[in-house]
């Protein structure tokens, strides 16, 4: 587990373009640029369950680079993916206070974006997260990565991007996390909501 302050940007795009074609264009045209940045940490793209678009998550270890790269990604996608995606993406950002990586080896094929609202100050919730949720998360057999922190625009909202080996392990892990939170309503007054979920089509780590 690490508590260094990374920066997470999540984008949701609408569209009906073939995910395989989107993934190939990203791997050929965008990913090399992201990976050459010294502060690059992670990048994932997933198709939204049920269709209708994709969502992505980028992680950098400084805020200035994260914002500059977001502008680059938006410009690149507006040109290279204009025939596959429609409209302006929905963007959310968070300063990552905790990120976890599983020790076991395995593929990264399913991603969840979750939101929890109504939280008190981080100083009060972070110790509980470390004591209760970190052990539960790490023991999940399909767990691979987690990036979580407070939404930049709404301080009482936490965002979490979790990566698993497949849909079934992700669903089971989410259910366990929600159940544990329900037992501690003084810390997590509201249940976590899954904002987006889907099969990973592009994944890259530093």
Distance CA 89, CA 86 (A): 8
CA dihedral 82, 88, 89, 95 (to 10 degrees): 130
pLDDT on residue 107 = 76
Nearest to 171, CA basis, from 162, 182, 180: 162
The sign of the torsion formed by the CA atoms of 91, 157, 132, 62 equals positive
Residues in the chain: 206
pLDDT on residue 123 = 86
Question: Which of 3.40.50.10800, 3.30.70.100, 3.30.160.250, 3.40.50.720 is the CATH number of 6-205?
Answer: 3.30.70.100
Radius of gyration from C-alpha coordinates of the chain: 16
Q: What end-to-end distance do the CA atoms of the chain give, in Å? A: 16
| pLDDT of the chain, 206 residues: tens digit per residue | 444 579 999 999 999 999 999 999 999 999 999 999 999 999 999 999 998 999 999 999 999 999 999 999 999 999 999 999 998 999 999 999 999 999 877 777 999 999 999 999 988 899 999 999 999 999 998 999 999 999 999 999 999 999 999 999 999 999 999 999 999 999 999 999 999 999 999 999 99
Distance CA 11, CA 186 (A): 31
The CA-based angle 126-131-132, given to 5 degrees, is 100
Domain ranges of the chain: 6-205
pLDDT on residue 104 = 72
What are the structure tokens assigned to 166, written together?
Answer: 């497949």
pLDDT on residue 78 = 93
Cβ of 192: how many Cβ atoms within 10 Å?
Answer: 18
User: What letter does residue 149 receive in the DSSP assignment?
Assistant: E
pLDDT on residue 4 = 54
pLDDT on residue 2 = 47
């Amino acid at each position: 587990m690490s508590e260094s302050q990374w920066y997470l940007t999540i984008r949701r795009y609408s569209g009906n373009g073939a995910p395989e074609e989107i993934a190939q264009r990203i791997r050929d045209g965008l990913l090399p640029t992201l990976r050459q940045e010294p502060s690059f940490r992670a990048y994932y793209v997933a198709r939204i369950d049920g269709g209708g678009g994709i969502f992505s998550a980028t992680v950098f270890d400084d805020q200035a680079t994260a914002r500059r790269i977001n502008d680059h990604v938006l410009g690149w996608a507006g040109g290279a993916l204009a025939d596959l995606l429609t409209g302006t993406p929905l963007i959310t950002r968070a300063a990552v206070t905790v990120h976890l990586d599983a020790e076991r080896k395995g593929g990264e094929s399913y991603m969840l974006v979750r939101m929890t609202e109504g939280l008190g100050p981080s100083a009060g919730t972070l110790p509980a997260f470390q004591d209760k949720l970190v052990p539960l998360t790490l023991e999940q057999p399909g767990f691979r990565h987690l990036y979580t922190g407070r939404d930049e625009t709404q301080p009482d909202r936490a965002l979490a991007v979790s990566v698993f080996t497949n849909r079934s392990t992700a669903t089971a892990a989410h259910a366990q996390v929600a159940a544990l939170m329900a037992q501690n309503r003084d810390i997590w007054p509201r249940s976590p909501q899954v904002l987006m979920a889907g099969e990973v089509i592009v994944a890259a780590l530093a």
